[in-house]
Amino acid sequence: MSSTETPPAQNDAPAHIDTTKASIARVYDAFLGGKDNYEVDRQVFQQVLTIAPESPELARDFRTWLIRAVRFLAAGANIDQFLDLGSGLPTAENTHQAAQRINPEAEVVYVDNDPIVAAHGRALLEENEHTHFIAADLREPETVLNHPVVTRNLDFSRPIALMQCATIHHVDDDADPYGIMQTYINALAPGSYVGLTHFYDPEDGGKYTELAKGIEKTFRESSMGTGRFRTRAEIMSFFDGLELLEPGLVLLADWYPEGPRVQPLPDSGHIALGAVARKP
């Protein structure tokens, strides 16, 4: 959809899309300035804007972090297969484009359960024979790992890059996000990598904690109903059994940025962390 088109109205949605409830993928699309979202999604976006006017920058930071990590993994770590969980809606640059620009034969499998994302995912299948999509829920790792598209295109006896970017913070504690991560990690061969980004509550009693808690409250009280800002210790738990690469678990802007920082970080830049880790 071009940037000049009008965003879809609620009654323009296909019958299988619930426009009474905000979608994680569509809300992120609104933050990124996309057009694949509905009024219910834009309401969440506007509510967050009242708390954090610079929050669209955070959404872009998640995406640019993902691309930097994928480039490193494809070039520096020589990884040629990627499992991207909760892939979201396409933007200017995606995992398969970043990886295949370095290695045209890199295999990329996207996973998402949003029906609009699935429609875009099916279109990706026509882009090249090394890009694949499955409509599945990342909270069901056994289903994902045993899906025929995954088993046919990814070789789990060799290193794989598992990308869990801006996703696991939408899995509530009662759904056992740590158990979910361990199931995925256990399936990976030694030498595999995990890239993960997550909403962060510094719990310092200052303005960044106030901002984190305010956005979390807005997300959870909206029709989207999900979004957890976890502490550094809680986020570190997702890397159990893995070896963190330098510079460790850091603010997104501090993980191998494109160049020196010439502007101070906006407040939203202090409420998300990212890291890449290797399975020994």
Q: Is residue 133 part of a domain?
A: yes
Q: Is residue 1 part of a domain?
A: no
261 phi and psi angles, rounded to 5 deg:
-80, 125
Residue 82: inside a domain: yes
**Confidence at residue 7, expressed as pLDDT on a 0 to 100 scale:** 45
Place of tokens 């484009």: 97
CB atoms within 10 A of CB 266: 15
Top pLDDT among 46 and 156 is at 156
Max mean pLDDT range (122-126, 154-158, 225-229): 154-158
In a domain, 129, yes or no: yes
The SS3 call for residue 266 is coil
As a whole-number percent, the residues of the chain with pLDDT over 90 amount to 61
pLDDT at 12: 42
| Local structure of residue 72 (DSSP, 8 states) | I
Q: What is the rounded average pLDDT of the residues 160-174?
A: 96
With cut-offs at 50, 70 and 90, classify the pLDDT of residue 91.
low
Distance CA(121)–CA(114), nearest Å, equals 10
For 195, the token pair is 């890239």
Distance CA 106, CA 91 (A): 19
CATH number for 94: 3.40.50.150
The answer to whether position 90 is within a domain reads yes
Total domains in the fold of the chain: 1
Residue 177 located in a structural domain: yes
pLDDT above 80 for 126: no
Q: Mean of the per-residue pLDDT values for the chain? A: 88
Q: Which residues contact 82 (CB under 8 A, 6 or more apart)?
A: 70, 73, 95, 96, 99, 106, 107, 108, 109, 160, 161, 162, 163
Q: Greatest CA span in the chain, whole angstroms? A: 51
By the 8 A CB rule, do 219 and 46 touch? no
How would you class 41 by CB atoms within 10 Å of its CB: exposed for 0-12, middle for 13-18, buried for 19 or more? buried
**pLDDT of 1 over the 60 cut:** no
Tokens of 145: 């790992």
Q: Per-residue pLDDT tens for 191-203?
A: 999 999 999 999 9
pLDDT digits (tens, 9 = 90+) for 241-276: 999 999 999 999 999 998 888 889 999 999 999 999
Gap between the Cα atoms of 5 and 53, Å rounded: 24
Please tell me the least confidently modeled range out of 54-58, 127-131, 157-161: 54-58
Percentage of residues in the chain having pLDDT higher than 70: 89
What's the CA gap between 115 and 103, in Å, rounded?
A: 29
> Is the residue at 141 inside a domain?
yes
Q: What is the pLDDT of residues 21-73, one digit of tens each?
A: 777 778 777 877 777 777 887 887 888 788 878 778 888 899 999 999 999 99
Tell me if the pTM is above 0.95: no
Containing structural domain, residue 137: 55-208+228-278
Beta bridge partner(s), residue 165: 197
Residue 62 has a pLDDT of 93
**Does the residue 168 lie in any domain?**
yes
- Beta-carbon neighbour count of residue 83 at 10 Å? 30
pLDDT beyond 50 at 8: no
pLDDT, average across residues 152-172: 97
| pLDDT for position 20 | 75
> How much is the CA Rg of the chain, to the nearest whole Å?
18
Look at residue 16 and tell me whether its pLDDT is greater than 60.
Answer: no
pLDDT tops 80 at residue 152 = yes
Please say if the pLDDT value at position 99 is more than 90.
yes
